[in-house]
Structure 1
């Protein structure tokens, strides 16, 4: 165990019981009815020392007596910048600047519990384990009982950590008109840029096995980018029938990147990546404009993906519950879902799954990551009213289509993806073998997934899953915009009532498909809403809209003041009805969704 993991002599060496507590049957506060059930046991949980009636048992509770989980922040930001502009001949000018910034964030977390101390107290409640000072010697943790103030104080563990970021940026570029074409001048920008970033995180108080907020080991890393770039707009045609203007925009950037783990001294090779774009802009006349573009984008991994990692404990679904459709339809024996459940220690009656059950997965940073590469295609049209009437002249609108595909994305390996893959909801384990990659990583506790850990079976011990490139993300959709306005005077109202403007933004997602790892099929999440712990930005309604309206008053003299700067605004947002994201991860099962709002 590390200083972030709870140690207990009641757990089999080398095993992991996830986020559960472990309690010996000698604890004097165990309720009598629970004692009777424990004494009737005849099996053996390989995760725990002993067997049968004397084997310890797993225990979990919500620490409501410790109050809300609260963070207190203190941020310090310092930044310097200097720049210069200068002419270069008659047609060009140059600009250069350098900036240096430092950010320091101290975060004190309240609501943490010292899990190691709690484990020691549950094991020997009347022996006053080191650090408890006897404060919890008479505390009963079973059932709905309040904590004594002395016990709560002993177990509370505020934690303070400090994050530091230092960033240095320097850029130089020249701009001007390169030459003249019949349709106009050809402007160009050429430049170079350096970006250096250093990140450090350390704990100012004891990091250790706490429950509540995430704590971890010190982290430190640096990244350096050196870029060259250029951009131009080439006018092709101008002032011709049906072509008021036709332009092509071109851009290019080449970036060399290097990363270093400042704790281990490991450094990546200096590698280069190219990004580029091509844009077409055709203005047919005063009221119609067409646009299209192609862009290749590259994203290098960030500090969390390189050096830090993360932990996730999302809401889960257990296929081995007797209430699932897959369980009900399954036979028994090897090669079936129930057979796989039995191999994982699930009793013949099925697993016990409480509402809101969660399971843990840990991911570590990795310097072996490659950059993501995305191809983006867009095409659209923007229209202004061709009519000069007062009721039509302010009407404008546009519609754009986008198509984005990210190859080898760096995605967080999802807990439910691992579970669904193990139990063949996506075809990843057709033989229902418990030695399958995803099944081998599932460490149930007492036959249940609740509070268990999804381990990485490819690495020794309880190693986390490293961030990795793999899978695919593909999305496409339509964006609409409509603008309109009028003066109240057109309706016969007095001039002081001013004007009204309205704007509607509408998005329709045609598809959003994602595969979390290479070899897994993409899942279409279009029209789904994420569940607890799935992460931000993982809900994809097919339709969403925002309507903005503003009423600007005209000028009225009143007690020496005027109302011309007075306005009223309103905003209405619509989000389409969505299915639970788990519908797509666990095909054939039934979940609750949400109505449109």
Structure 2
């Protein structure tokens, strides 16, 4: 039935003509409801049954194969190097403009954020009782409120479900990874003579994920780097025309080693020596230097461990209940509730002391080899700097948990020609993270090992200082010299490790009421309106055991005093050291209250005259008042023209907004580690990046234009096609310049405001920190064409259904600020800091044949070709010697058998995803081993995978 509505509302789906069904279905796109009406806003309807055939894991994974979604995050689509992003859940991204600009709704109710960054992890939505997903692929802020810039994804509940249904399935990929299982049970029933209805569901899903090392492609240490070393030395950076990027394997990073590299002081005779596994020093072999500074082929440099996570293990628990009752013939009251838990676990990068925060080893450290100690004594060297990556100790575990609660109560009814509703929603999401990494206070204490003069035993130096010894009880010495050292001093390694933790609690209260219906009739039909008001309050409370602000005072002297007290008695503490080595998260506290009023109208202008079977115009407006930034208006105007029965044209123009997330506004300062290829010092290394909120942010403003048509030819029953052009421009976009952008902008203009964000010990030294914060500075514009076509017909004794979704991305332009260069990103891709690609063509093609209970479903996913290298704001675009990435096809196959039994059915099914085991294109990054050597947000990294199970309904 949803498919039938889509044929009228938004374009084609698998359908057989049935006018009664068309009239019984209402799909998302407007607050106004009319039987069989056609709206100007394009809407794609995705039945969950079809999504499950293509991708049986969960609804979100199925949606992400549709071309309307681009660069969504997920357990298999996220990098897991660091644990500060909160972007490892299923975050849907319409049009590729960011999940924060996609409004997520559950049965037309706005979902609250589930992460502190203001986005919704749709893993929290119960799957079993969702009958379809409506995807509004255009701005809808006037109808549904803030954040609907790129559109709306509405998970539509089957409120009238009766009976018992369920699923039991299991899966694994061809190489024995990514084992998963899913179990669910749903129940629905009428009671009190049909006046009441109850719905219950419970679901469990578990996937065990995989490591990077589980795929050979991740073990080659591939890298895109400069081709010409001589050109680099002559001043031509990697990626320039004289020094294009080429593919290398067996690459290393030569500013550190797994056993430790002595990188200072410069006058020390053992400088640039490395430590062997047994702790002895030997000259460092940099390998074959290449056309990118800091990297080599072969040699003694280090390789980022491939034992980190490629696909994060995910476990979800979903429960849902709803009770409704007709207290009168035209009045229904209801209550419903949701509780879900989503657990994601992954392994991030290994512990390290890397430049510029190398470890300081003092003279007298008993782990120093005798010849190195003798040289230090002879040359009066008090300490040496050692860069070490403790890859032999393995990656660091991180755990994320999201607990989500939502309670809803309301009353709805009918009064004459009008339907009305009033409802209240209270929801809470609790996001917690724990990241294992060095507790720097303990790590510095453990590193500074000496011999106890009383007994000759190796101990922590601070334990011999009565003034501070009590602060370091339990300290065990840690040896980082030689790859065998950390294991030999495992007690010291364990003492030095801790858990950086934060907890973000977001609560939201919503009160909303609306009324819609027909005001009066015109010759062409009824004039319909919808009016309503909403109030909501959202609060964020984020606590952390690693808030960097608690080590920073109002003045430099106060900061020095705070740091001195915290690191009391320690030597060798880095100037930018915080609580933990990798993840330091600032606290955040804030709230916003939003008051809104909206109205919509649809006016039939003409009907049943030559070349105008129907002509309607519509308009919507919304006034929104934010307690943080004041009043803003959104609107939409549109129309539909049906010149003949078989053809519909539609057009819309809208103004939409996206309000800043509470974390954007109120976040305290946080520190995380970023990797910077510094064009000033020529050094490539990790650098602390400080992020914080900006309370002066205002809502983004977006303008959307769509124009298209729907063809349903009467001479070809069962066929329909929609073609829609869209153009979206976002002004005053909330943007955050990347680490590299900030540094590059300052390099190009010494007076640029970005220079205040970069801290360097000297003008040509590698930065000790870079500050990053959001601002209303960016501009984004995208345009393209969506095609949605379907055909259904009888074939033999069965039914054949065909459906195609296609997206052509004509343009995707970004601008860092109003005065910056406009960058065209369509048809480009890169695996640098973030793995992203925007091919111009994408499509999904489904074929479904059913006969005598048997079903065969084949889905083809097409990812078009593109060129490597996004344009740069500097105008110095990256040049690849071979930039072309060819198109890729993926095939999914499901075979099922439906057996009638006990008044219902049992459906046995088997699914093979990536049937032909298509390998992802080899696209490494420009930092060895930082990311998987492909673009994980676009391509399948798992390979052929199998799922088998049973669905039932009685």
Q: Matched residues in 2 for 1:34 and 1:579: separation? A: 47
Q: Matched residues in 2 for 1:589 and 1:480: separation? A: 33
Task: Name the residue aligned to 1:62.
Answer: 389
1:117 maps to 2:442: yes
Task: Name the residue aligned to 1:46.
Answer: none
**Alpha carbons 2:605, 2:617 under 8 Å: kept:** yes
2:868 to 579, 584, 593: 579
1:140 to 464, 468, 480: 480
Task: Name the residue aligned to 2:430.
Answer: 104
The change in CA–CA distance for 1:583 and 1:371 in structure 2 (over 3 A counts) is closer
Q: Matched residues in 1 for 2:407 and 2:776: separation? A: 36
Task: After TM superposition, give the deviation of residue 500 of structure 1 in Å.
Answer: 2.7
After TM superposition, the score normalised by the length of structure 2 is: 0.47
After TM superposition, the structure 1 = structure 2 runs for residues 396-407 of structure 1, keeping only pairs within 5 Å, are: 396-407=720-731
Task: Name the residue aligned to 1:228.
Answer: 597
Q: Matched residues in 1 for 2:420 and 2:769: separation? A: 55
Task: Name the residue aligned to 2:616.
Answer: 247
Q: Deviations over 1:288-346 (max 9, x none)?
A: 21111101001111012111266665554443xxxxxxxxxxxxxxxxxxxxx4xxxx4
User: Runs of 5+ in structure 2 lacking a partner?
Assistant: 1-83, 85-263, 265-353, 451-458, 463-468, 549-577, 889-954
Q: Deviations over 1:31-81 (max 9, x none)?
A: 7898899999xxxxxxxxxxx985866554334345333333554444332
1:299 maps to 2:658: yes
After TM superposition, the score normalised by the length of structure 1 is: 0.72
After TM superposition, the structure 1 = structure 2 runs for residues 41-190 of structure 1, keeping only pairs within 5 Å, are: 54=381, 59-88=386-415, 90-107=416-433, 109-124=434-449, 127-129=460-462, 136-137=476-477, 139-142=479-482, 145-147=485-487, 148-190=489-531
User: Partner of 1:116: helix, strand, or coil?
Assistant: helix
The change in CA–CA distance for 1:544 and 1:33 in structure 2 (over 3 A counts) is farther
Q: Deviations over 1:143-190 (max 9, x none)?
A: 575433212210221244322222111011222211211110001111
Q: Matched residues in 1 for 2:700 and 2:377: separation? A: 56
The change in CA–CA distance for 1:519 and 1:63 in structure 2 (over 3 A counts) is farther
Q: Matched residues in 1 for 2:518 and 2:865: separation? A: 48
Q: Matched residues in 2 for 1:291 and 1:255: separation? A: 27
The change in CA–CA distance for 1:588 and 1:578 in structure 2 (over 3 A counts) is closer
**Alpha carbons 2:619, 2:636 under 8 Å: kept:** yes
1:511 to 793, 807, 811: 811
User: Partner of 1:239: helix, strand, or coil?
Assistant: strand
1:549 to 829, 847, 853: 847
User: Partner of 1:178: helix, strand, or coil?
Assistant: strand
User: Runs of 5+ in structure 1 lacking a partner?
Assistant: 5-9, 11-16, 41-51, 260-268, 320-340, 456-463, 490-494, 556-562
Bigger drift between 507-516 and 209-218 goes to 209-218
1:478 maps to 2:785: yes
Q: Deviations over 1:343-390 (max 9, x none)?
A: xxx4xxxx344xxx55443331111111110011111122223534xx
**Alpha carbons 1:113, 1:211 under 8 Å: kept:** yes
Task: After TM superposition, give the deviation of residue 134 of structure 1 in Å.
Answer: 7.1
**Alpha carbons 1:279, 1:292 under 8 Å: kept:** yes
Name which structure has the greater RCO, CA cutoff 8 Å, separation 6+. 2
Task: After TM superposition, give the deviation of residue 136 of structure 1 in Å.
Answer: 4.6
2:829 to 514, 521, 529: 529
Q: Matched residues in 1 for 2:878 and 2:841: separation? A: 24
User: How many residues are paired up?
Assistant: 488
Task: Name the residue aligned to 2:197.
Answer: none
**Alpha carbons 1:360, 1:415 under 8 Å: kept:** no
Q: Matched residues in 2 for 1:571 and 1:36: separation? A: 68
2:740 to 398, 416, 421: 416
The change in CA–CA distance for 1:184 and 1:32 in structure 2 (over 3 A counts) is farther
1:21 maps to 2:358: yes
Task: After TM superposition, give the deviation of residue 487 of structure 1 in Å.
Answer: 3.5
